[in-house]
Structure 1
Amino acid sequence: MADLFTLRAAVEADRPYLDAYCWNEGMDNLPSLERVTVAANADDEPVGFIRIALGANGAAHVNPVVTHASWRGYGVGRALMEAAAAEHGELRLVARGASVPFYDALGFEECDWGLIDTSVTENCEGCELVDECNPKPMRRG
């Protein structure tokens, strides 16, 4: 399935896609395109992306990984996660409860909240959707 898309660094022309994908998932727009990798289809349109945020302790945090709904099941999210792991080694993240099975399949395990950088968790505190989201701190190393 890897011939359906390629991975590349995000460029400014990708921003409308990435912002729309964030909005569809109930997230804010990305603060920058630094450390953002996109999966692009044959027309070079983003069909998914991953952003790696480096914590104060230097740990790499997935924040976020998103695949367009029409591309789910084609290995886009897995390819983005594997590329990030190959580059950064250990990955940490806060998973929405519904996405925990995806991360479980990639070998992630639940971990202590203290391992997740506060820049990644700040949106969880006080969020009105926290009960619906059911966030879980996870890591793979």
Structure 2
Amino acid sequence: MAGELFHLRDPRPEEKAVLDAYANAEGMDAIPSLEGVRVAANEDDEVVGFMRLAISDEDIAFVNPIITHETWRGFGVGRALMEEALERYGELRLVSRGGSIPFYQALGFEAIPWEDIEMTMVDDCDHCDMRKECGPLPMGKKLG
């Protein structure tokens, strides 16, 4: 770990409050559990970002959510989390907030139909008071 800005690992139970605080700071609800979560931790092993994957009945991995602490944006944290998950699952789908679309496009994600998104995520967007301001866009990427 010496010399690395951050590393990826599984979360520890005592870190859930930190992850929930990161989600809350982005206007999101607390994550339901640590299942499917990977974190990025700095050289002091403090969480600087995380990703939660929800796996559908069809074994498709959905990013819900990915968050990098604001002071760590631009250091490759989100990219590293996304690339690791894509390597592991071969395909990722998500609903991007409008402001995050350029990030996902830079990683090679493209717009996909809403029908290709897990219904619970569609419902979240459909019932969100901020949908108009958010400008959600379903996106996906497959390896190969």
How does the TM-score come out when normalised to structure 2? 0.94
Report SS of the residue matched to 1:122. helix
Pairwise CA RMSD of aligned residues? 1.0
Matches of 1:58 and 1:136, distance apart in 2? 21
Instruction: Name the structure 1 match of 2:68.
Output: 67
Matches of 2:55 and 2:32, distance apart in 1? 13
Instruction: Report Cα offsets for 1:9-53 as digits up to 9, x if no partner.
Output: 111121121011000000010101011000001111100000000
Instruction: Name the structure 2 match of 1:101.
Output: 102
Per the TM alignment, residue 57 of structure 1 is displaced from its structure 2 partner at its CA by: 2.2
Mapping of 1:118-133 within 5 angstroms? Answer: 118-133=119-134
The count of corresponding residues between Structure 1 and Structure 2 is: 140
Instruction: Name the structure 2 match of 1:35.
Output: 36
Instruction: Name the structure 1 match of 2:53.
Output: 52
Instruction: Name the structure 1 match of 2:91.
Output: 90
- 1:17 maps to a residue whose letter is V
4+ runs of 1 displaced by more than 3 Å?
A: none
Which runs of 5 or more structure 2 residues have no equivalent in the other structure? none
Instruction: Report Cα offsets for 1:83-139 as digits up to 9, x if no partner.
Output: 000111100000000000000000000000000011222211121100000000000
How does the TM-score come out when normalised to structure 1? 0.96
Query: What percent identity do the matched residue pairs reach?
Result: 52
